[in-house]
Amino acid sequence: MKTQLLDYLSGHLTENRNALFDKVLKDRTRYLTVVLEDIYQSHNASAVLRSCDCFGIQDIHIIENRNKYTVNRDVALGSAKWLSLKKYNQNENNSQEALQKLKKQGYRIVATTPHSSDVELYDFDVTKGKTALVFGTELTGVSELVKQEADEFLRIPMYGFTESFNISVSAALVLQHLAHEIRKRNVNWQLSKQEMEDVKLQWIKASVKSSDLIEREYYNKYK
């Protein structure tokens, strides 16, 4: 049924738009995913979304403990509608819930922060399995809970006086390198056929005017 619905809705796209969706889908991945913990500056949050879209990362997990995640449209440039945003904001400490769900899905939790047992970005082994990259707040980084739950720690090498990068810069550097690495290695990084169909439906609904009415029209016609 979903495949037929997708075909029906795709008929409301231009030929070029449909071809672009299919092309981008081939480069989308869930092998890498991004976790943002308590980001409070909207321009940073939005810049990370933009980088995720540019480097083919489909899922972003947003943890809201003290700070509500907001998007600056001028920075994000519409990237949010092409991504699958999963928010965790129902509990006092939502980090635990997010990390547990990711571990159940087979992700190794990788905290992007200096640590005694950290690995430099260019030595990080992407072939060990699906990776959830956790980025923390602008001032204090990832929480102690994330450090306790992390399977690995990742550090970007730096050679100057400043102790850290801006979070949006950190995310862009990490994603650019790892997105390139997974395409070089023998890992199954692409979306499955079912996942591609699900994501394409999401994209069509986000970009076709009155897509909900068109969907109801389909079900009335073919149910």
Binding residues for S-adenosyl-L-methionine: 112, 156
Separation between Cα atoms, residue 197 and residue 194, nearest integer Å? 5
Nearest one of 5, 101, 119, 104 to 62, comparing CA atoms: 101
Separation between Cα atoms, residue 28 and residue 172, nearest integer Å? 16
CA distance readout (Å), 212 to 75, 90, 219: 28, 28, 11
Classify residue 120 by its DSSP letter: E
- What are the structure tokens assigned to 16, written together? 């070029």
Separation between Cα atoms, residue 181 and residue 130, nearest integer Å? 13
* Residues sharing a CB contact under 8 Å with residue 169, sequence separation 6 or more, in sequence order: none
Binding site membership: which residues? 112, 156
Nearest one of 130, 181, 137, 179 to 152, comparing CA atoms: 130
CA distance readout (Å), 177 to 32, 107, 119, 122, 172: 12, 19, 14, 8, 9
H or E stretch at 153: strand 152-155
Name the 3-class secondary structure at 97: helix
